[in-house]
Amino acid sequence: GAVVSQHPSRVICKSGTSVKIECRSLDFQATTMFWYRQFPKKSLMLMATSNEGSKATYEQGVEKDKFLINHASLTLSTLTVTSAHPEDSSFYICSANMATDTQYFGPGTRLTVL
């Protein structure tokens, strides 16, 4: 149990295009999902907290108009990187909270912007 999936696992896009990443909790319902970003050899940095049916809460320094988050159901949250640029290249990881209070993570999405 407690499986979180992400799609795609890897994406390469041209500068200026938008990329959507999906995060799904496969066997549980998650009222809260989180999006993290991780640069090479660095730790995970929280980008935003996503609550089902409401607007996401972004961490300081994260542009909400650039990183659009939608949490339309209890099992799905999406992150759209709009007008991506090379500096947005990173490893994006989502997580979901179970009712037990434990957070489970997806496998991550490697984004490369050319």
Partner 1 sequence: DAKTTQPPSMDCAEGRAANLPCNHSTISGNEYVYWYRQIHSQGPQYIIHGLKNNETNEMASLIITEDRKSSTLILPHATLRDTAVYYCIVRVAGSGAGSYQLTFGKGTKLSVIP
Positions in the binding site for partner 1 (CB under 8 A): 2, 4, 6, 31-32, 34, 36, 43-46, 49, 51, 57, 91, 93, 95, 97, 101-108, 110
Burial of 51 (0-12, 13-18, 19+ CB in 10 A): middle
- CB nearer to partner 1: give 4 or 79: 4
CB nearer partner 1, residue 34 or residue 67: 34
Measured torsion, CA atoms of residues 95, 98, 100, 106, in degrees rounded to the nearest 10: -30
Residue 15 or 29: the one with the smaller Cβ distance to partner 1 is 29
Q: How many CB atoms lie within 10 A of CB 23?
A: 28
